[in-house]
Amino acid sequence: MNVQERVIRAIARACQLDPEQVHPEATFEELGVDSLKGLEIVFELEEEFKVSIPENVAVGMRSVRDVIERLRTVFEGAGGFATEPSS
């Protein structure tokens, strides 16, 4: 499973949605994500990827695509995390 699929699955869990309802171009506003739900998403992503998401990264995430791209950046900056851990 790639980063995009794992992000979509984690966001869907946090928002109690079917993963097919979460598209890469969806904004958090479109998904009905408020600040509390945003925290739940960050916690879910941290659990899914076994990482700590820095606050400066988390505050900039406004869409599913933002999450995917920022996590890829974090992984690349952490020693080239090119291969995703298996689930």
Q: Which residues are catalytic?
A: 34
CB 51 within 8 A of CB 72: no
Torsion of CA 56, 34, 26, 21, to 10 degrees: 130
